[in-house]
A and B are shown apart, each in its own frame.
Chain A
């Protein structure tokens, strides 16, 4: 603002020149940072446009929902497999994640045990997903002798998304002002009543957002499933203990022999994940507004 005022104020010639020279580095930084921001946006638009151009012409209802044969693969096995993985992965990780977050924010305090739990969560979050895949392969596929199953993949991915769920739910619990908790306790409400009637309703927006984003991560995950669910395109999974494939794996599977189908699958995947992200933001905002 100050610089702008200088412009309009009648300054002596000398001073104006000086201020112009001083402004040069700032202008330079502004241009460089704008260009860099532009690169990020251009990359996003580039990817989307590229995938849409390559994929959309090959999209058809028959490709998404039609009968799946070896010569004419469709997305049906991937859709069913993804549905199983989401149900198992989210079904296991969401309750555990929310309860862990409640423990950490409402009960744990600041002791040594809590530091260990937090360190474990941070570390879990930093492990590359292929390593989770390897863990699932060794434990569920080999050690338990299940072979490739959607159940093993779902359980593995549930461990992978657990830290993200815990952290985002904990953050929304901590954002509930402590004066609400005090107010509730001061009326003689127990800790459990305070958590269920005051804390959780106020954190609902953040929790729902966390859940939707977690589902998005399962849908877009691939490395874990390559090693755990068998990537079986020819066959429809009938139960969680069957091997199967997922949408994200379809992109990889189709890439060498049917690149156009790979792109079409990517479009479906992109629409799903972007849709979930928008839904997450929308639902979070809606719940927040509803409570005010």
Chain B
């Protein structure tokens, strides 16, 4: 059974000034699946990820040609970027909890979108922390600074914070590259759990990780997507020669 298409990119080109970071990318991301982007540093995989919630808008001199659809809507036309980002959450490479209490971190998003009062916020905070598998570790210190948590815990708070605004899609930009193996394992388990409800796109340098958790994998090189397909196929019998070399560790 094929899931419905959630994100679609059509002949996408992206420029940082004169440098072309993405070249004619065409891609379809299916709903409630984990799609992984792999490839060597600077290949454009993070850049593509940041296109989906228009984070590249914040970068001066960044120009985009081509189209991106989220849930069938062109995100560059008649779209409130803040509502787009509510629908398409993001988790970053380095845990970036705000220097405030755990509670306020989770409540930041809902408050931004107009939820007020502890009566309304409390259930969202609890639910989000539970979904991100951090509730047991955080419940006794909700009013303490989130900076007191370990890196792995902080990253799960970041995931909870993203879930608190009830997104449909979760973009993860190398979410475990700053974490130890145990924390990484916890985040991977969490991703498996979350994909029942959310569409996840994850950028990773860790090919075992991509093979372990993703349903589809895209391989990027120098701004081009050279291979895209079911992860089992991409990792066992890649069609593209460079993709095969990369996966088998002969370059990258």
A interface with B by C-beta (< 8 Å): 109-110, 177, 179-190, 193, 197-198, 201-202, 291-292
- Please determine whether B92 and A188 come into contact, CB atoms closer than 8 angstroms: no
A228 CB → nearest B CB, Å? 42
- A68 → chain B closest CB, angstroms: 50
Interface band, chain B: 20 to 34
Bound Cα distance from A184 to B165, whole angstroms: 12
Q: What separation, in Å, do the CA atoms of A188 and B81 have in the docked complex?
A: 7
Inter-chain contact B85/A186, CB cutoff 8 Å: yes
Contact A292 B145 (CB under 8 A): yes
Determine whether B86 belongs to the interface, using a CB cutoff of 8 Å to chain A. Answer: yes
- CB-CB contacts below 8 Å: B86-116 with A: 86, 89-90, 92, 94, 96-100, 108-109, 112-113
Residues of A within 8 A of B98 (CB): 180, 183-184, 198
For the complex formed, measure the closest distance between the CB of A97 and the CB atoms of chain B, giving whole angstroms. Answer: 24
Interchain CB contact under 8 A, A179 and B85: no
Contact partners of B161 in chain A: CB under 8 A? 183, 187
Q: Can you show 16 pairs from A to B with CB atoms below 8 A apart?
A: A109-B60, A110-B60, A180-B96, A180-B99, A185-B58, A186-B53, A186-B55, A187-B162, A188-B82, A188-B84, A188-B85, A188-B86, A188-B165, A189-B108, A190-B112, A198-B98
| A291 touching B145 in the complex, CB below 8 Å, given contacts A183-B96, A183-B98, A185-B55 | yes
Residue B83, interface by CB 8 Å: yes
The answer to the question of B190 belonging to the interface, with a C-beta cut-off of 8 Å to chain A, is: no
Q: Cβ of B85: which chain A residues have Cβ within 8 Å of it?
A: 185-188
Contact status A292-B158, CB under 8 Å: no
Q: Is residue B147 contacting chain A, with contact meaning CB distance below 8 A?
A: yes
Q: Which residues of A contact B86 (CB under 8 A)?
A: 187-188
- Number of A-B residue pairs having CB atoms within 8 Å of each other in the complex: 67
CB distance from B44 to the nearest CB of A (A): 18
- A182 in contact with B92 given A188-B113, A202-B99 (CB within 8 Å): yes
Across the interface, do A193 and B99 meet the contact criterion of CB distance under 8 Å? no
Which of A183, A198, A202: most chain B CB closer than 10 A? A183
Please measure, in the bound complex, the distance between the C-alpha atom of A181 and the C-alpha atom of B161, giving whole angstroms.
14
Of B55, B84, B92, B112, the residue contacting A193 (CB under 8 A) is: B112
Q: Which 9 A-B pairs have the closest CB atoms?
A: A188-B86, A186-B90, A187-B109, A179-B96, A188-B85, A183-B96, A188-B82, A189-B112, A291-B99
Given contacts A179-B94, A185-B55, A187-B165, could you give 4 more A-B pairs where the C-beta distance is less than 8 Å?
A: A110-B60, A182-B92, A187-B108, A187-B161
A186 touches B89 (CB 8 A): yes
Which residues from 39 to 53 on chain B have a C-beta closer than 8 Å to any C-beta of chain A?
53
A207 to B158, CA, bound (A): 28
